[in-house]
Amino acid sequence: MLALAFGLGACGRGQANEKQEPATPPAPATTATAAAAAAGTASGTATASAAPAPLPPPRPASERPSATVTRPPGVNKEQWKRVWDTYSHLLDVDDLLDDLHRRFPDKTEIVTLGMTVEGRSVKAMLIADHPAEARGRPSMLLNGAHHGDEPLSADLVLDAIETLLTKADSDPRIRRYLSELQLWMVPMVNPDGFATFMKDFGAGRKNARETRKLVVGGTLNQRGVDLNRNYPFRWGSLREEGSTRNPERRNYRGPSPGSEPEVQAMMALSEQQHFVGAISYHIGTVALLAPYTIDNVPQPSPNEAWIVAVEIARSVKPDSTRPLYVHKNLYPVDGTDQDYFRATQGTVALLFESAHRSWETPFLHDKSLEAMRPAWGVLFDRYLDGPSVEGRVKDAEGRPVAADVRVVEVQTNAGESWKSRCPDGFFGRYLPAFGRFTVRVTPEGGAPVDRTVESVAGKGRVAIDVTVPSAPGEGSSPPRGVCPAGSK
Ligand SMILES: [Zn+2]
């Protein structure tokens, strides 16, 4: 596979100025998309005219990973059948994504984000009309199975993929998502954890890093790092309250912030895309969590992420017996993905807990998918219809710039610097309400430029382009903040 230049250049790296954050960016082993690799492009962004070559023929079922998995000792036949019938397809998630790419080659692209401890890949599917031409649009993210023992969360993302692709030509709302957004889908963040779950239903929450002090005699559920406690924002900030340093416990935060390859893969994708909105799916209770979920992090005021979450909660009824509420958290946590996305890029990053651990109740599986399905549509519509603002930052010579972009009326309080992205200088923000706002763009080393925007019903998504003076670079280097030429 060819190396993918993955936007890890010097620009666009929003930082929340947390002292404990690592100074170095993640360095995941990103690889080219299957399509781009087949098309012979080194960048992973095939040019518009280059028709991607089709994937090789699908692997027969007998050669897919599920073919090697058998009923673990101690699991009775009926229970195994329920789990197998409901979730064994997830063992073959890479093949499933490839199959979908074959069916919808003009609407999908597969990107390998990284490799796990056990050598599985963490894959993303980009859904957009002609993905190679979609770079430059606002990006949204859905992800599942940070916890491998919550397989329904992966199916929630696969369900979104299936719905988006099969209805793209018939449903005008979905057609709009594909033509105006980049939809990034990561159904299985923790494939090692899920493979572990299929060996031992009591295990698989964490990844497969060998962390047990006593390997002999240790159980599988003691192994691994809790990926949703490993992100480098306020990692371990609540000490033993929000996660633990004990490697054998279920919420072990890992040896250092962002230490795990799966987390690095998601961090790199976030740094590249600057997601406007995101949903991370989990399973266990009925709840919608809005950032910041970590205690002692001061919230933006007003907190538009919370406002958007409340709007979603009104539209989704995941469980007929329990109302859906928006929460800050359910118990103390730190090092979570949604707070990392929020703190570094300003993403309206939500965590959705679905109702059922339905591998024991397969009849609830499809019901859960159906009940949860409206959530992502509300997230996308709320951005596309507004109130929201987006634009591009350029210098006087028209070069895209990574600059601090803030909505003055939305006061941030945790040292956030949310930047326009490279290579295109794009920024996109949900606004808390319709009305008049000041967008302040501050290039590195330069004076701020203010632009007033007005978002009104019916014309809620406001687009502006902002030209900023760029500060000279040192010597022959380009001006500070200007996206490096050729960056992807
Ligand atoms: Zn979870």
Residue 282 CA to ligand 1 center (angstroms) comes to: 4
Distance (angstroms) between ligand 1 centre and the Cα of 283 equals: 6
Give pLDDT, residue 479. 73
How far does residue 352's CA lie from ligand 1's centre (Å)?
9
Instruction: Locate CATH 3.40.630.10 in the chain.
Output: 2-385
Other Cβ atoms less than 10 A from the Cβ of 302: the count is: 14
DSSP 31: B
For 2-385, CATH gives: 3.40.630.10
Compute the distance from residue 19 Cα to the ligand 1 centre, in Å.
27
pTM score above 0.85: yes
Residue whose token pair is 């960048």: 43
Distances (CA, A) of 6 to 42, 94, 167, 264: 11, 21, 30, 13
pLDDT value, residue 484? 87
Degrees to nearest 5, angle at CA 33 with 27 and 34: 140
Residue 128 C-alpha to ligand 1 middle, in angstroms? 28
Kindly give the distance from the C-alpha atom of residue 147 to the centroid of ligand 1, in angstroms, as a whole number: 5
Number of Cβ atoms within 10 Å of the Cβ of 151: 30
Q: Where in the chain is the domain with CATH 2.60.40.1120?
A: 388-468
| Centre of ligand 1 from the C-alpha of residue 430, in Å | 26
CA 153 to centroid of ligand 1, rounded, Å: 8
User: How many angstroms separate the alpha carbon of residue 436 from the centre of ligand 1?
Assistant: 39
pLDDT average per 10 residues of sequence, the chain (488 residues): 30 34 38 35 38 79 97 92 94 98 97 98 98 96 97 96 98 98 98 96 94 70 95 97 95 98 98 98 93 98 98 88 90 97 98 74 82 96 98 94 97 98 97 98 93 97 92 68 78
Nearest CA-CA partner of 107 in 67, 167, 38, 27: 167
401 Cα–ligand 1 center, Å: 37
Predicted local distance difference test score (pLDDT) of residue 451: 98
Question: 115 C-alpha vs ligand 1 centroid, how far in Å?
Answer: 21
Q: Which two tokens stand for residue 246?
A: 């004990």
Rounded Cα distance between 303 and 306, Å, is 6
Tokens coding 192: 């090692």
Task: Classify domain 388-468 at the CATH class level.
Answer: mainly beta
Two tokens at 275?
């997601």
80 CA to centre of ligand 1 in angstroms: 22
Q: If we measure between CA atoms, which residue out of 486, 485, 478, 480 comes closest to residue 468?
A: 480
Structure tokens belonging to residue 99: 């199959």
Distance 285 CA to ligand 1 centre (A): 10
What is the CA(358)–ligand 1 centre distance, in A?
14
